[in-house]
Amino acid sequence: MTGTEAISNGVGAFKQPSAKNAATTLAWMAAILGVLFLGVSGLARHFAVMPTASETVLSQVARHVFGGGLVYYVFQYATFAILVLAANTAFADFPRLSSILARDRFMPRQFAARGDRLAFSNGIIALAAVAAVLIWAFRGQTSALIPLYAIGVFVCFTLSQAGMVVHWVRSRAPGWRWRAALNGLGAVATAVVSLIQVATKFTEGAWIVVLIIPLIIYVLVRIHRHYEHFARDVAYNGQAPLMFLHHTVLVPVNGITKPAAGALVYATTISEDVRAIYVEVDPDTSAELRRRWEEWDIGVELVVLESPYRSVLRPLVDYVNGLIERGEGDLVTLVVPEIVPRSWLGHLLHNKTALFIRTAFLFRPNVVVTAVPYLIGRAARLRDRLSHDERLDDEDEALVAAASR
């Protein structure tokens, strides 16, 4: 039964005319399924085969028909291969289905994005994570997972066929009556099977499906509402003249360093009102910085904020709030020097202050935080590369001179 929903959800993956090719494939699959089901059922009854905990019905039927020779093991391997393909079908189908729901704004937009291999990687990863959690929760007992799968499949069949009934009634296409009746009969049949499974397997794990399906529907509806509200909030349908705002740029510094100098250079390119901000934790250090800053004389004001409790963020946040309240800055940009180390270990030793500053101003209006990266060791690498290129040029000139001689 696994391939039914895979084909119905993957119509767009078929060659044109996709709808006709998908319908033909589904018809052949249904015919093969019917023949296999009737054949296995007839053989099982003929050989009086009953389900057991140690051997499947298919294995027992194959043992009666082929004996215990090579053909029996070929049959068992074929069954194993089909099960592998069935498991792979979920990883091919769910990501595609989740991408459809994501495009309709019922799932996060990340599920509609394709990865480097043109597959819906986020859906594959999410499905693998859920599968791993289920296997861990049920301690690897696949028999306990069967009710979850069976009920979920037949509930999906019921909803899809009921949806087709609504489709035929609304479209009134030629033959809509018998088509609606056929889909209605299928919906009733699968609904009855779902109810029987819920009633008989409720205590064996079916209650999880009964609980989780309404929860999933609720989450999808909430996601859809979020995207609708988001679209209304960001929509801009009018026209407005350009507003010339007073733009104040603040550069947090902890001293006269190359990263701070790079951030100041960038800040002067985006505004004329640039201020370097130093949070005073140690008065002796701030006095020395003031003296060096005056000697540097770069034309940028140094603002020293006192911090009696040695907090770096609170004085900075208060200063920015004061600027906005006094009207000294309609738009405030914090240009934060950010260290980019050469190794992963360096990331653990740097950039904590820059991260905290970005987090502190993330939800504040009219405040923009910009990071100016400084690559550790970049200058040395460029210097080595230039010297290496110069040596190569010298060697090439020597070789040309020797060849001319």
Q: Is the dihedral of CA 190, 196, 202, 204 positive or negative?
A: negative
pLDDT the model gives residue 251: 93
**What residues have CB less than 8 Å from 255, skipping those under 6 apart?**
289
Q: Rounded CA gap, 182 and 180, in Å?
A: 5
Share of the chain above pLDDT 70, in %: 87
pLDDT the model gives residue 392: 45
- Of 60, 55, 208, the C-alpha closest to 138 is 208
Q: What does the DSSP 8-state code read for residue 272? A: S
What band does 38 get if pLDDT is binned at 50, 70 and 90?
A: very high
Q: What is the pTM of this model?
A: 0.64
Are 329 and 248 in contact, with CB atoms under 8 Å apart?
Answer: yes
Q: C-alpha angle 362/320/333, rounded to 5°?
A: 60
Whether the per-residue pLDDT at 10 is higher than 90: the answer is: no
Rg (CA), the chain: 34
Residue with tokens 């004329």: 272
Give per-residue pLDDT as tens, 146-171: 777 788 888 888 988 999 999 999 99
Share of the chain above pLDDT 90, in %: 26
Three-class SS of residue 50?
coil
Give me the residues paired with residue 247 across strands. 331
Residue 74, amino acid: V
pLDDT the model gives residue 390: 55
Whether the per-residue pLDDT at 400 is higher than 50: the answer is: no
For the record, the structure tokens of 343 come out as: 């190794």
Whether the per-residue pLDDT at 1 is higher than 70: the answer is: no
Q: Rounded CA gap, 405 and 403, in Å?
A: 5
Are 362 and 287 in contact, with CB atoms under 8 Å apart?
Answer: no
For the record, the structure tokens of 255 come out as: 């001293």
pLDDT the model gives residue 67: 85
What band does 384 get if pLDDT is binned at 50, 70 and 90?
A: low
